[in-house]
Chains A and B, each alone.
Chain A
Amino acid sequence: MAKKAKSTTEKRNLRNGLLFCSPVLIGLAALTLYPMLASLYYSFCNYPMLKPPVWVGATNYRTLIHDPVFYKSLANTAYFAVFATPAGMLTAFLLALLLNQKVKGMAVFRTMFFVPSIVPTVAGSVLWLWLLNSDYGLINTILRLAHLPAPGWMNSPAWSKPALILMSVWGVGGWMLIYLAGLQDVPVDLYEAAEIDGAGPVQRMLHITIPFMSPHLFFTLVMGFIGAAQYFTQAFVMTNGQGGPVDSTRFFSIYLFQNAFMYWKMGYACALAWILFTLILLFTLLLFKTSARYVYYGGER
């Protein structure tokens, strides 16, 4: 009798559970699982969109190995990820440290640093296009008034990526808030004990603050890399979808988009997408595998 009651509850729970989760079950099937399999299949096909896909084996992947633009876009993306992520982390960390100094007007400064990060991406890109204008932009105006060399920024293949990195650093407000929350959780008595033991500010930073902040730093590092690998909108808007000058801002996602929706090479674009996915997966795994060495998770483990 009791067993029967239990099994009806179980049945009802299963039914209700599936019912409540049905939106995501449909979503996973229609917008994730099927598209993943389909895109893997298309990556082995010639698929010009208007005609049905035709199986061509590994041709797309072979083309890719000999495609100089593929390597260029990969190198651009790596450049951006390697510089933009640490630059953003460093700036956000510095801002968080400053804000954590219990100064008056902290809320005002916090707002000043945070607001750039919520500016709509396209509006921010258009704004920076003007700030970075090589002749009359605000940045070069200031550099000229200070008698410093004024680079060509978005007109120069050498300076276009640094320009985008500079712009990305402006938007690190979100990370700053994450760090600020983390800094407020660092036990104060540790600092006091260290000070009594004669530890200077540098030692306290290296041996208390950074270890305690390492989970937050690690989280932003992973998110930053994944985001940088997919960097798209800003470069697309600022170069009118071209990735110029001289392909210097043709990032991986831009090249993928161009193949898919400008050249209508859907099969090739899918092959690129799978390469991107594989690289992100490998890199994330690598970061997680090595994280035990440099991430400190308090008492638990």
Chain B
Amino acid sequence: MNVGKRRKRIRLATVATYAALVCLGTAFTLPFVWMLVTSLKPASRIQKFPPDIIPMQPVNVRLDGRLCEVYRDRRGAELAVLEKLQGGMARVKPVNDTQAPAQIVSLDKLEPAIRPGLEWSNYSKGLVFIPFVDQLRNTLIVSICCVVGTILSCSLVAYGLSKIDWKGRNTLFIIILATMMLPAQVTMIPVFTIFVRLHWVNTFLPLIVPSFLGTPFFIFLLRQFFLGIPRELSEAAKLDGCGDFGIYRRIVMPLSKPALATVGLFTFMGAWNDFLGPLIYLLDETKYTLSLGLAMFTGQYGNEYGMLMAVSTVVTVPIIVLFFFTQRTFIQGMTMSGIKQ
């Protein structure tokens, strides 16, 4: 009896866990669904209460060679609007009986007829409003250069901090760790004045060049990884006449692919996401990255939610696709960053 009670309690707990997971899962997923649904609605159907759960489109019919909106009256009869008149009145004709004489009715008593349908024009219009192709190209240039720069610089520095024994390397490591604490706002303004003096404003260089000078967190991550590579490997290579650069290139780098993938992935995401950098340094719309382009578009067309959701979807989907292809690297990287402390 005790066992039965216990089993019952465990089953109840499992049911409760599933219920909670399903509720929370829905709550976390719903925003995405709503983004997609809104992006496929025509402008006239977006600001509605209650909203259409699936995208609906107004129905039109061709009458006497003209496209007419269709309305429905209370009994469900479909009426084609021939002409809208003053005072909310309209001249209408029944859709299924075009020979019938036109009547004049008040539109207030009618509902626009709708049927399910997807409105793709939010995508075509939204992607023309922001110079999408330019901005996508800019984002890719900046992101890829940052990935190359970060992987190159951070791995070199991490090698210098883990595989070469020299005086002062621990001090340097501590200094690098300490700079992680420094808020970007402190250095932002003088760095801006440096790039102004170099005439690099409105180019991608202020966004790319710093990545070639190392990122503290990734240096830390790679150093920890390099320390785990057995010393014997590099000692053996040294006996065979291999220099430090040879060991770095032929032994350490090939063995560190998982860690390098994590660094590359996080750098790519960071660059794709970056807003403050492009906001400060990029001035022309054709030089913007997608994040900045979308923000500026929002500032100008804050009410065009169909288009805004379409562009947001387009900016988000590549990242989610990237996530699904690299889930392992991703989750390992996230937990790695947590375990360190």
Give residues in A with beta carbon < 8 Å to B.
10, 13-14, 16-21, 23-28, 30-32, 34-36, 38-39, 42, 49, 95, 98-99, 101, 103, 109, 111-116, 118-131, 133, 135-136, 138, 141, 144-145, 170, 174, 177-178, 180-182, 215-216, 218-220, 226, 229-230, 232-233, 236-237, 240-241, 253, 256-257, 260-261, 266, 269-270, 272-274, 276-277, 280-281, 284
Give residues in B with beta carbon < 8 Å to A.
14, 17-18, 20-21, 24-25, 28-32, 34-35, 38, 46-51, 152-153, 156-157, 159-161, 164-169, 172, 175-176, 179, 181-194, 210, 212-214, 219, 243-244, 248, 269, 272-273, 275-276, 279-280, 290-292, 294-295, 298-299, 302, 305, 308-309, 311-313, 315-316, 319-320, 323, 327, 331, 334-335, 337-339, 341
| Min CB–CB distance B174 → chain A (angstroms) | 12
Would A273 and B188 be within 8 Å (CB), given that A24-B219, A112-B28, A170-B28 are in contact? yes
Residues of B within 8 A of A180 (CB): 335
A22–B167 Cα distance when bound, in Å, is 15
A286–B259 Cα distance when bound, in Å, is 33
Query: Is A118 a contact of B172 with CB atoms below 8 Å?
Result: no
Query: Is A20 a contact of B273 with CB atoms below 8 Å?
Result: no
| Min CB–CB distance A168 → chain B (angstroms) | 13
Would A118 and B320 be within 8 Å (CB), given that A101-B17, A130-B309 are in contact? yes
Checking B152, B168, B338 against A182 with a beta-carbon cut-off of 8 angstroms, the contacting residue is B338
Query: Is B34 a contact of A28 with CB atoms below 8 Å?
Result: no
The closest CB in chain A to the CB of B312 belongs to A123
Query: Is A145 a contact of B190 with CB atoms below 8 Å?
Result: no
Would A219 and B338 be within 8 Å (CB), given that A98-B20, A170-B31 are in contact? yes
- Of the candidates B29, B31, B248, B308, the one having the most CB atoms from chain A within 10 angstroms of its own CB is B31
Compute the total of residue contacts between A and B using a CB distance below 8 Å: 262
The closest CB in chain A to the CB of B341 belongs to A219
Residues of B within 8 A of A273 (CB): 183, 185-186, 188-189
Query: Is A277 a contact of B183 with CB atoms below 8 Å?
Result: yes
A125–B248 Cα distance when bound, in Å, is 42
Residues of A within 8 A of B165 (CB): 13, 17
- Of the candidates A115, A257, A276, the one having the most CB atoms from chain B within 10 angstroms of its own CB is A115
Q: Can you name 12 A-B residue pairings with CB atoms under 8 Å? A: A23-B153, A23-B214, A39-B190, A120-B272, A120-B291, A130-B38, A138-B31, A230-B185, A233-B275, A233-B276, A273-B189, A274-B186
- Of the candidates B175, B183, B188, B291, the one having the most CB atoms from chain A within 10 angstroms of its own CB is B183
Residues of A within 8 A of B210 (CB): 27, 31
| Min CB–CB distance B260 → chain A (angstroms) | 16
A124–B269 Cα distance when bound, in Å, is 14
Residues of B within 8 A of A17 (CB): 160, 164-166, 168-169
